Amino acid sequence: MRAARCTEYGPPSGLSVVELGDLEPGPGEVLVRVHAAAVNFPDVLLVADRYQVPAPLPFTPGSEFAGVVAALGPGVSGPPVGSPVAGAVLTGAFAEQVVVPVSGLRPVPDGLDMVHAAAFHVTYATAYHALTTVGRGEAGEWVAVLGAAGGVGSAAVDVGSRLGMRVVAAASSQERLTVARKLGALAGVDYVREDLKTRLRELTDGGAHLVVDPVGGDHAEAALRALRRGGRFVTVGYADGKIPRIPLNLVLLKDAVVRGFEIRMLRQYAPDAVAAGDRALAAMVRDGMRPLVSRVHPLADVAAALTDVAERRTTGKVVIDMTGGA
């Protein structure tokens, strides 16, 4: 099988595509023939050895995929061979085959092709639970979404708007804000050219009820300051590359709630909430919701795809098409 390989830590340009032996599933595992794999910012961090959990060299990056079941390991009764599935792993998805525990697979929601299925579950599940399970967002509340044209950000704008929340998008350019408005944002803040705290307060009638932040960096504190009293702040990632240091007196003075959220931990500790979220998202897909996919690359261009994501030149999701030849 063909696979992208990281043999030394560093920028995505160091990745290569090589031939490896076929995989076999072990007990409790499923072999999936990968049709498409989405690029996520943690993939860039893993290649650079900057992620919270290191990946020992050499390894195949890639964390989100869609494909069909090719074989079942010992003790696994399903899903049947040939079934369309999507899943998430820490590494291994940028390859023509991946082995994953059966518990890590989800059926592809009706209406999604393989490219959109690969781009869907991680970001949309993250967005849904950041907004609802963790953020306790409700219809009618003002919700500020940072990085609103990125993978998680665009999903949060889409899901929040469909749930009746009043979403204000924050992004780094007017072009990216236009993308967010098309997904349902009622207003936008260009935090490169505008004061984020001041504009969010103006646009949300005195302060946001909830902030969803997949960006981090210097914008996190400004967004926290834009919360109204008793507001909630959910941190889900650091695409800025800088982990913010928040003065705790702000939390005290605002009576604010600050929560961290990582989708893999939720699957482990709150499986009922995850199942309920899957059902809610599947219903939205049936109603026409689709993830924003801005670029599709063949596996041969995997280094360029990760570089674009690392340098924040993309909107929505970037997907690697494993069926598109070299």
Does residue 17 register a pLDDT over 60? yes
**Local structure of 136: helix, strand or coil:** coil
Residue 196's closest CA among 224, 235, 165? Answer: 224
Task: Give tens-digit pLDDT for 225-282.
Answer: 999 999 999 999 888 778 899 999 999 999 999 999 888 788 888 889 999 999 999 9
Task: Give tens-digit pLDDT for 149-187.
Answer: 999 999 999 999 999 999 999 999 999 999 999 999 999
135-260 maps to CATH 3.40.47.10: no
Residue 14's closest CA among 306, 325, 312, 239? Answer: 306
**Helix spans in 130-209 (H):** 151-162, 174-182, 196-203
Q: Can you give the pLDDT at residue 195?
A: 95
Does residue 325 register a pLDDT over 80? no
Residue 238's closest CA among 256, 218, 210, 257? Answer: 218
Whether 101 contacts 276, CB under 8 Å: no
Q: How many CA atoms lie within 13 A of 186 on its CB side?
A: 16
Residue 257 CB contacts under 8 Å (≥ 6 apart), including other chains = 230, 231, 232, 233
Residue with tokens 């860039």: 44
* Band (133; pLDDT cuts 50, 70, 90): very high
Does residue 21 register a pLDDT over 90? yes
Q: Which fold has domain 2-121+291-321?
A: Quinone Oxidoreductase; Chain A, domain 1 (3.90.180)
Measured between alpha carbons, how far is 166 from 172 in angstroms, rounded to an integer? 20
Whether 222 contacts 191, CB under 8 Å: yes
What ranges do the domains of the chain cover? 2-121+291-321, 135-260
Q: Read off the amino acid at residue 249.
A: N
Order across the sheet with 187-190: list the strands. 187-190, 166-171, 142-146, 208-213, 227-235, 257-260
Does residue 326 register a pLDDT over 50? no
More confident residue, 202 or 269: 202
Task: Give tens-digit pLDDT for 27-65.
Answer: 999 999 999 999 998 899 999 998 888 999 999 999 999
Measured between alpha carbons, how far is 294 from 178 in angstroms, rounded to an integer? 14
